[in-house]
Structure 1
Amino acid sequence: MEKESAAFRELMLQLFRTRMTFRRAVQRALKKTEAGITFEMLQVLRCLWEEQGISQQVLAERIAKGKAALSNLIMNLEKKNYVYRLENPSDRRNKQVFLSEEGSLFYKRISIALDAIYESAGVAIGLEKVKSMSADLKLTGDVLEKV
């Protein structure tokens, strides 16, 4: 039991380190392309690229940010004309967030630099290993949901 606990603790530490390394790689790509956005802003744009019109609450959960922090991110993205908010017709207290046409064009442009990161890392690691690691991480997440 003690060995499993220590091994799992090391796995979570390595997962955290890998996330931070990934974040730095993305930040370098954003800087190199002179994108003028932060990693967190990119997370918002990515979520909206995948699903338009989601609520701020759902968006906050998906990028693991508090409502106040998300509100600031959205406000900064609105200033750049990349996103806009509309009242939810069924619940006027909730706002839905959308990727603007300009935001969509910007995301397409910036995703080329991001795809280079994914391709380079994917080739270096190998498809079978990536699939295996992905399945293992999904299992880990599923187990942690039940703890």
Structure 2
Amino acid sequence: METIFTTENLYNLLSGRIPSAFNRALMTHFKANGITLTKEQWSILAVLWKKNGCSQQVLADDTYRDKPSITRLIDNLEKEALVERRPDKNDRRLNLIFLTEKGKAMEEGVMKIVDQTVTEAVRNIDPEILQIVRDTFIQIYNNLETKK
């Protein structure tokens, strides 16, 4: 199969160069707007903004992190009064993670910065090309996930 990518270019693309650049830009924009979240903390809050009151396992699955990492992130988010743990009413061995009012109140401002960063990242790229890129990355992901 002939490709427009060299092995090095393809490796750089698939190994995280773009996500790293995006995360650097996002953290720069957060800092410039007085948002003190790390990208890891933001990823946890982003899940909770959609699924408030979920388990640590859901957070681990949705952010592709292990449980010890999730525990540390939640500990730090609790210290910042952004989330709180509450016992699950159906299984007292489990804690569910809920946003505090402070955590809920951050969503609009943080997501505005995220949206601005995404817009900056894809400027001057034809929407049809973006759709092809999206579909391609989904296929790569699916190819790798079915190998498990």
TM normalised by structure 1 equals 0.87
SS at match of 1:102: helix
8 Å CA contact 1:48–1:99 kept in 2: the answer is: yes
**More moved, 88-97 vs 132-141:** 88-97
CA distance in 1, matches of 2:11, 2:51: 29
1:143 counterpart residue number: 143
8 Å CA contact 1:33–1:110 kept in 2: the answer is: no
SS at match of 1:91: coil
Q: 1:8 to 1:44 in 2, by over 3 A?
A: farther
Residue 84 in 1 paired to residue 84 in 2?
yes
- Residue 29 of structure 1 deviates from its aligned partner by 1.2
Deviations 1:89-131 (A, max 9, x none): 2221121112222111112112111111112223322211111
Which has the larger helix fraction?
A: 1
Where does 1:12-27 land on structure 2 (aligned, <5 Å)? Answer: 12-15=11-14, 16-27=16-27
Aligned length: 145
SS at match of 1:86: strand
Where does 1:1-147 land on structure 2 (aligned, <5 Å)? Answer: 11-15=10-14, 16-147=16-147
TM normalised by structure 2 equals 0.86
Moved segments of 4+, more than 6 Å: 6-9
8 Å CA contact 1:87–1:94 kept in 2: the answer is: yes
CA distance in 2, matches of 1:53, 1:146: 30
In the alignment, residue 11 of structure 1 is paired with which amino acid? Answer: L
CA RMSD across the alignment:
2.2
